[in-house]
Structure 1
Amino acid sequence: MFFDLQFAPVVANMPALLKGVLLTIELSAAAIICGSALGLLVALLRHLAPQSLRWPMTVYVELIRNTPFLIQLYIIFFGLPAYGFKVSAIEAGLIAMTINLGAYTTEIFRAGIDSIHRSQIEAGHALGLTRVQIFRHIILKPAVQKVWPSLVSQFVLMVLTSSVCSFISVEELSGAANTIQSATFRSFEAYMVAGALYLALAILLKSGLFAIGRYAFGKKAARVRSFGTAALIAGEAKQ
């Protein structure tokens, strides 16, 4: 079996692919920031709210995590205008990605918060830390440190999930590749190049985020294991 691969027509349209890469990065970065903030907020509300008031957040998480992202995207893109809320394709994609990522990061943050032992919080109170200092240093930082690898994986998945937005004509990387293959009839080559670009994005994002994690948590993690979170943070807070 002989394959006649011709990448020249695809390379000739590389500016369109790079424009798609840029839109993918912008869309994913905005979704990661907004989705992480939403997930952290919902996780804190589920942690702090009385049991009787947690059901709306539980419904949100279970509903989003157990339905396809494409359906969620269609509901936002086609459903909101029916009720008078006009959104562009890019805005619909960003909203859908934010809501989707928020549900997944809620569970990740919740696991990290639940991993903080109650004795650490009590030790923080005993050492004279304020509620803000306890939340910021004893709860939030160690919680994020524990779940950072899971967060990184979820962020990478969200970058790849952004390709679904091409179904509503968002000209991100997949959308650009689809346009190019329609014009050049070189489908295999176009999607091979797009796949390579997605792979490069995923590797760069993962490497960068893990480097950030090592910078933010590496040295402190060893000190926490040696001296204890509350005692360490109390010393830093009083400096």
Structure 2
Amino acid sequence: MAYQFEFADVFAYWPELLRGALHTLVLSGLAMVIGMVVAVLGALGKTSGPRWLQWILDAYIEVIRNTPFLIQIFMIYFGLPAAGVRLSSETAALLALVVNVGAYGIEIIRAGIESISKGQIEAGKSLGLRPLQIFRYIILKPSIQAIYPSLTSQFILLMLNSSVCSAIAAGELTAAAGDIQSRNFRSFEVYFVVTCMYFAMSVLFWGAFAAIERAWLRKPSLR
């Protein structure tokens, strides 16, 4: 007998899918904002901080980049309670995403900062700019302009990686899909719809990032 597709059995649970998608957007958005702060501070520490801080940041980056994201989540959610730190699944998911994207973001932003020539920095000093102004206008903004595509790609991967947070029962889209599938047993239909929803959310983030680039990061025209 041929398989009968029944997408109505999936759409009957649309409120749960919508809540899961909204939770994914909020979780990813918060992780992106906090992770960006971690990445900027970490990149600043890597490029101009004391040697001991650079060693700590190097160790953090190498550990995160060379271990699976799922293990990182388990270490935070299941490992920290052994040290007396208990976190809810939502807080653990957010912390894991921030820790993960922060490590990758530090290296991306560091590469952008190191692409700025020393002559531009010296020019800023000769104009009487304060160190914070030099970092903000001469180093940070041009470096982000240079690495913006790589940084936004990493943020999209962060949003997609949030699906792994279902392993600790965080209430995002993949967790909602698993709950629905366990009730209607329509695996193909459920995960096909969820795939389309993740694609739509990726497009939404790409559109938001493009709008940010047009508003704040586009280089002025030479004409």
Residues in 2 aligned to 1:62 and 1:202: alpha-carbon distance in whole angstroms: 27
Task: Tell me the residue number matched to 1:153.
Answer: 153
Runs of 4+ in structure 1 over 6 Å off: none
Task: Tell me the residue number matched to 1:218.
Answer: 218
Q: 1:54 aligns to what SS in structure 2?
A: helix
For these two proteins, the number of residue pairs brought into alignment is 223
Residues in 2 aligned to 1:51 and 1:171: alpha-carbon distance in whole angstroms: 41
What pairs up with 1:114-153 in 2 under 5 angstroms? 114-153=114-153
What pairs up with 1:49-198 in 2 under 5 angstroms? 49-51=49-51, 53-198=53-198
Letter aligned with residue 142 of structure 1: P
TM-score normalised by structure 1 residue count: 0.90
Residues in 1 aligned to 2:52 and 2:154: alpha-carbon distance in whole angstroms: 29
Q: Is the 8 A contact 1:112 1:147 kept in 2?
A: yes
Give 1:217 shift. 2.0
Q: Is the 8 A contact 1:113 1:140 kept in 2?
A: yes
Give 1:125 shift. 1.1
Q: Is the 8 A contact 1:152 1:210 kept in 2?
A: no
Give 1:82 shift. 1.4
Of residues 56-65 and 129-138 in structure 1, the stretch that sits farther from structure 2 once superposed is 129-138
Task: Tell me the residue number matched to 1:229.
Answer: none
Task: Tell me the residue number matched to 1:235.
Answer: none
Residues in 2 aligned to 1:160 and 1:213: alpha-carbon distance in whole angstroms: 22
Residues in 1 aligned to 2:138 and 2:53: alpha-carbon distance in whole angstroms: 25
Q: Write out per-residue CA displacement over residues 58-110 of structure 1, whole angstroms, 9 at most, x where no aligned residue.
A: 00001101100000000000011111111111111001000000000001110
Give 1:53 shift. 4.1
The unaligned stretches of length 5 or more in structure 2 are: none
Give 1:20 shift. 0.2
Residues in 1 aligned to 2:55 and 2:20: alpha-carbon distance in whole angstroms: 39
Give 1:214 shift. 2.0
Give 1:3 shift. 3.6
Two-structure CA RMSD over aligned residues (Å): 1.4
Residues in 2 aligned to 1:129 and 1:37: alpha-carbon distance in whole angstroms: 23
Give 1:159 shift. 0.5
Q: Write out per-residue CA displacement over residues 30-69 of structure 1, whole angstroms, 9 at most, x where no aligned residue.
A: 1111111111111100111244541111000011011000
Residues in 1 aligned to 2:89 and 2:51: alpha-carbon distance in whole angstroms: 38
Q: Is the 8 A contact 2:47 2:110 kept in 1?
A: yes
What pairs up with 1:33-52 in 2 under 5 angstroms? 33-51=33-51
Percent identical residues: 48
Task: Tell me the residue number matched to 2:4.
Answer: 4
